[in-house]
Amino acid sequence: MSLKIAFTDIDGTLLNKDRVPSSLLKEEVARISKLKVPFVLISSRMPSAMFHIQQDLGIEDIPLICYNGGLVLVDGKPIHSTEIPANIVRTIHDLNADNSFHISLYKEDDWFVESMDFWAKREQNNTKVSPTVRSIETVVKEWEQSKRGAHKVMCMGTKEALDVVMDTLSKTHADSLHLYRSKDTYIEIANKEISKLTGIKTLLRHSYPAFSLDNCIAFGDNYNDIEMLTAVKMGVAVKNAKQEVLAIADSISETNHNDGVAKAIQKHLS
């Protein structure tokens, strides 16, 4: 079997309608674990929002690729970290002088919000992680003084408000920021130097030097999965994926709500 390691996106790809791993998925991950095939979670989520999924799947000892490649953890410790500089975080914060949208700041395993508004509560429900309520201005000032930054900035709000954010940052920071709009009401922002593919390459070099991209299978559904799915030996899209993702996939499985990843594991990792 040439496929020796698996990487999977979480939201829209791995979890069922209840936003948890299904029984079949647990069975399949346990089976390939016995075959010594690592099953690596790779997501825009923060570590805490991925740990409980690892526990459900019984793969707590497997590395994690968080923040779309911005933070790579092995044995719970970072082997790679790429942040958005504090001065750019300041720029994003300044765009929200009239509080027209929600900002979430993420660094390592910290998540900061201005208040527990609709958006914070929604993310809390989706990820099973609670944020720290703290003035965004205070957080940015501290990062400026310590020369630290954010692994991810999430902007959430109305389409109209986020259209302005997207347009402004695309014009002013196209060379330094990756702007990923998963839906009209969400913009995920990361350092342009990183991606899920860079995260995979970093982890292979560090922890699996005997493996190459030709030994990788990956599962995804959205635009930020395209580079990863294209680069690995077997790129699998779930049926509910964006049309652009379906178009480049080597294989298309069932939807995430119908055990798409588990069924693809059965097919390709037998």
54: three-class secondary structure by DSSP: helix
User: Does domain 5-81+194-268 fall into CATH 3.40.50.1000?
Assistant: yes
- Give pTM, 2 decimals: 0.94
Q: Is 211 exposed, middle or buried (0-12, 13-18, 19+ CB in 10 A)?
A: middle
In three-state secondary structure terms, 56 is: helix
Q: Which residue has the tokens 């609709």?
A: 118
Closest CA to 12 of 191, 215, 239: 239
Which whole number is the average pLDDT over 80-89? 98
- Equal fold, 5-81+194-268 vs 84-191: no
Domain assignments of the chain as residue spans, ordered by start? 5-81+194-268, 84-191
- Condensed to tens digits (0 to 9), the pLDDT of residues 16-70 reads 999 999 999 999 999 999 999 999 999 999 999 999 999 999 999 999 999 999 9
Provide CATH code, domain 84-191: 3.30.1240.10
Q: Is the pLDDT of residue 247 over 90?
A: yes
**1 pLDDT above the threshold of 80:** no
